[in-house]
Amino acid sequence: MQLIFEKSRTGRSGFMLPEIDVPVVAGLPEKYCRKQAPSLPEVSELDVVRHFTNLSRLNFSVDTNFYPLGSCTMKYNPKFTEKICALDGFSDLHPLLPQLLGGGMLAQGALEVLYNTERLLSEITGMSAFTTQPLAGAHGELTGVMLIAAYHKYNGEHRKHIIIPDSSHGTNPASAAIAGYNVVVIPTDKDGFLDMQAYKQALNQETAAVMLTCPDTLGIFNPRIKEIADLAHAAGALMYYDGANLNAILGKCRPGDIGFDVIHLNLHKTFATPHGGGGPGAGPVGVCEKLIDFLPISRVIRRSDGTFALDYHKHKSIGYIAPFYGNFGVILKAYAYILRLGKSGLIEASENAVLSANYCLARLRDYYAPAYGKSCMHECVLSAAKQLEQGVHALDIAKYLIDRGFHPPTIYFPMIVKEAMMIEPTETESKETLDAFIEVMIEAASLAKTNPEALHSAPLSMSVKRLDETKAAREPNLRWKPK
């Protein structure tokens, strides 16, 4: 497909400017004048419409295809939440309204949504309070670690490091490091769990927190999670829960009940808000009782007369972490989703997510080596190590899936699994879709034996063929230039 710059023809345009009816002012200083005209495409309106419509048709999305990208929970986002967000009373609100004298009374509905969402998320996760302000999961993580730092500082302690397993999401060590902590990495034992001996050795009076996700990135639930939390607490450290994998445990287990003190959620995963591809996102943070006072301002409060307001007077708060109250539209969608599904619906969603992943695991385990264990939670990790013997990599299988109309699973993560393929089907896919995907995976496994070249040359059906990822990373060429 041609770039829009390549469609450009001198003199062609898609607009007509009115004649200038004000005096033309000359004399702009030389240094502000361009030496040559900007290189913008000269195209008609139809050129633009066709170009972007065709470009959008190349897009691969949950709305068009199965998207089992592990760890990302690419569930379908029901469209009714879009309708609710589009209601004038929400979409036309000015974000400064609650700060205007008397303005809060004109934004009661929105404030109530924020207030109720915090309560619902607290109930779902077993935490005491939530802030919906963080603008993405990683931002929520940083906020969570800042809360941990504020808590220790308030108690007069100078703790230096945060313990993180080697199977963690890359954002965990990044958040800890940005908040000023050293990172101590704990290896995974032969069963795929945190190595308890290494953990006990690393844990001491300098440990600020232990960052975990449960089920972990291998898609398995750690049966010793309570013991890990008890050890951390005994050493004076806090437990941080990465909510990326919450979709596996709704209504079954609450992080707050098993000893987690801070948690962030990715609303775009568990609560079916759009995966932004850069935003807007939402990464609400929940805390246990003893951390409430440190939450960022403002806090949404309910007055004794039942009305809602924003409270900025929290002297222990870590302060502002974002303008306004988070990405309100995203929070609203999650709120609508939670209310629509209700308690039983959320539990059923988790159960089906786990069932779908186990179905994939059960049907594929004879073809690809499972990373760990007999069963999994909401995602299963398989290895293409067997296929590697034929010279076929996880990457080749991923590219072949694209040809067959499926988004590839996450590959090469978690990094501790050789040729990892991490499949997260989610609860929103039918058995027929899962079967079709599984058949293609089996087909790929058999091609690896009989005709590995077919996998090496995939994808063949896309507008671009196999890309040279190495060259793209070593010599990035991001800008079009005229020849």
From 36, 59, 344, 470, residue interacting with another protein (rule: CB under 8 A) = 470
Q: Which range in 26-34, 215-223, 304-312, 468-476 contacts another protein by CB under 8 A?
A: 468-476
Place of tokens 């996998």: 455
Question: Contact letters (x/-) for another protein, 410-439, by CB under 8 A?
Answer: --xx-x--x---------------------
100 near another protein, rule: CB under 8 A: no
Taking the complex as a whole, how short is the minimal distance between the CB of residue 426 and another protein, in angstroms? 25
Question: Contact letters (x/-) for another protein, 136-175, by CB under 8 A?
Answer: ----------------------------------x-----
From 29, 40, 469, 481, residue interacting with another protein (rule: CB under 8 A) = 469
Taking the complex as a whole, how short is the minimal distance between the CB of residue 412 and another protein, in angstroms? 4
Compute how many residues bind another protein; rule: CB under 8 A.
9
Taking the complex as a whole, how short is the minimal distance between the CB of residue 435 and another protein, in angstroms? 30
Q: CB-wise, 85 or 174, nearer to another protein?
A: 174
474 near another protein, rule: CB under 8 A: yes
Within residues 220-279, the interface with another protein by CB under 8 A covers none
Q: CB-wise, 416 or 436, nearer to another protein?
A: 416
473 near another protein, rule: CB under 8 A: yes
Taking the complex as a whole, how short is the minimal distance between the CB of residue 183 and another protein, in angstroms? 10
Question: Contact letters (x/-) for another protein, 393-412, by CB under 8 A?
Answer: -------------------x
Q: CB-wise, 389 or 453, nearer to another protein?
A: 389
Q: CB-wise, 324 or 412, nearer to another protein?
A: 412
Taking the complex as a whole, how short is the minimal distance between the CB of residue 473 and another protein, in angstroms? 4
Q: CB-wise, 19 or 469, nearer to another protein?
A: 469
Q: CB-wise, 359 or 412, nearer to another protein?
A: 412
Q: Which range in 136-144, 280-288, 352-360, 465-473 contacts another protein by CB under 8 A?
A: 465-473
User: What is the binding site for another protein (CB under 8 A)?
Assistant: 170, 412-413, 415, 418, 469-470, 473-474
